[in-house]
Amino acid sequence: MKVDRLVSIIMILLNKERIGAQELADMFEVSPRTIYRDVDTINMAGIPIRSTSGVGGGFEIMEKYKVDKKVFSTADLSAILMGLSNFANMMQGEELVNALAKVKSFIPADRAKDIELKVNQICIDLSPWMGNSNIQPYLEIIKVALQESKLLTFEYIAHHGNKSARTVEPYQLVLKSSHWYLQGYCNIRNDYRLFRLSRMSNLQIQEEIFTPRDYQNPTLDFAEIWETMQTKIKIRIHKSVMDMVLDFCSYEDFSPDGNEHYIVNFPFKEKDYYYNILFSFGDKCECLEPLHIRTEMKRRIHDIATIYES
C-alpha cells in the first residue's frame, strides 16, 4: 500500500544517514522507479530529501532538518488517519495496522482527543446490508495474488447468465460505485477484462507465478460517453419513490405534477438494465414518452403477467 510505504520510507530515512534506491526497492519489493516517485511525493509534502550519486550514494533527509510531531498539523494527521482507518475497514492486513500505528505515533497527547473526533466524523463502510458474503474473503485472496504475481482461477457469471471458467493474471483491485472489481489479463479472452467480484465463484489462487505485462489502468470515467449514448425519457412518479429515483438523476430533473406526483426527465438507454430500473419503481412509476418505450414497457408487463396466469 502506497501510504504505508511512504510512511515507512520517512521512518527509515530518519533512522539512517543514507540509503540507496535499489536497497529501498528490494525492501518494499517494488521497482527503483517507484521509489523515485515516492521520494518526489515526500518532497512535495514538505520533507526535503536529497539524492547523491556514485559509490555510497543514495537518499537522505537534508542535514539539520528534523521531523518532529509538529510537522503534521491536526488537519494533516486527521486526513491521514481518516484515510487509513476507512481503508482498514475495507481491506484487512498487517501492513495497515503497522501504518496506523506509525502515524498515531506522531500525535501529541494534547491533540489526541481533537484528532480522534475529526477522524470519526467520516465513516466509510462498504459491507453490504445483506447479500454476497464472499466479497471480503475474495479481496484477501486477490490481494495475495497481486503481491505475489500469482494466477487466479474462478467461475464467472457474465451478461444473460452466461457462465465460464476463467484464468486471470491479476493487476488491480478497483472500487467503483460501491462495487469491487478485478482488472486482469484473461487467458481465455487474451485481453484485459474487468471482473465484478460479486459475479465470481470458486475463486482460487494458483501456485503458478506469471511475468507481469506492461499494464495500463482501466478507463473508469464514462460520463462523457454515457451522455452521448443516453436519452432522456419522461416518467411520472409518485412522491413515495422519489428517493429511489434520485439515485439515477438529479433534483433539477424533477417538476411537480400536483401534490403527490412529479414529472421526471429520466436518463435512459434501451437495454434490459434500464427497463428493470423502471420496473423497480413498481406501480408508482409510469412512462409517458416516447411512445415506443411506453409500448415496450406494456409488452414486458404483459409477459410478466403471463407467467403468473398458470
pLDDT at 75 > cutoff 90:
no
- For residues 49 and 65, the answer to whether their CB atoms sit within 8 Å is no
CA distance from start to end of the chain: 57
- Two domains, one topology: 2-67 and 135-209: no
**What confidence tens digit (pLDDT) does each residue in 85-100 have?**
666 555 655 666 666 6
Of 228 and 113, the one with more pLDDT: 113
pLDDT value, residue 162 = 86
Please give the mean pLDDT across all residues of the chain.
82
Report the CATH number of the 135-209 domain: 2.30.30
Q: Give 113: exposed, middle or buried? Use CB within 10 Å, 0-12, 13-18, 19+.
A: exposed
Burial class (CB in 10 A: 0-12, 13-18, 19+), 268: buried
CB 240 within 8 Å of CB 282? no
Dihedral sign, CA of 63, 68, 72, 78?
positive
Question: How far is residue 231's CA from residue 270's CA, in Å, rounded to a whole number?
Answer: 9
Grid coordinates representing 304?
410478466
Alpha carbons 228 and 159: distance in angstroms, whole number: 23
The CA-based angle 121-124-130, given to 5 degrees, is 135
Residue with cell 438523476: 249
Percentage of the chain modeled with pLDDT above 70: 77
Report DSSP letters for 169-198, one per residue: EEEEEEEETTEEEEEEEETTTTEEEEEEGG
In this structure, whether the domain defined by 2-67 belongs to CATH 3.40.1360.10 is answered with no
Q: Is the pLDDT of residue 139 over 60?
A: yes
User: Cell numbers at residue 244, please?
Assistant: 429511489
More confident residue, 76 or 193: 193
86, 47 contact by CB (below 8 A): no
Which pLDDT band, with edges at 50, 70 and 90, does 174 fall under? confident
DSSP H or E stretch at residue 154: strand 150-157
> Is there a cis peptide before residue 212, judged by omega within 30 degrees of 0?
no
pLDDT at 212 over 80: yes
Q: Measured between alpha carbons, how far is 268 from 242 in angstroms, rounded to an integer?
A: 17
**What is the domain partition of the chain in residue ranges?**
2-67, 71-119, 135-209, 224-307
Give the range among 42-56, 183-197, 214-228, 265-279 with minimum mean pLDDT.
214-228
H or E stretch at 268: strand 261-268
Angstrom distance (rounded) from CA 221 to CA 192: 17
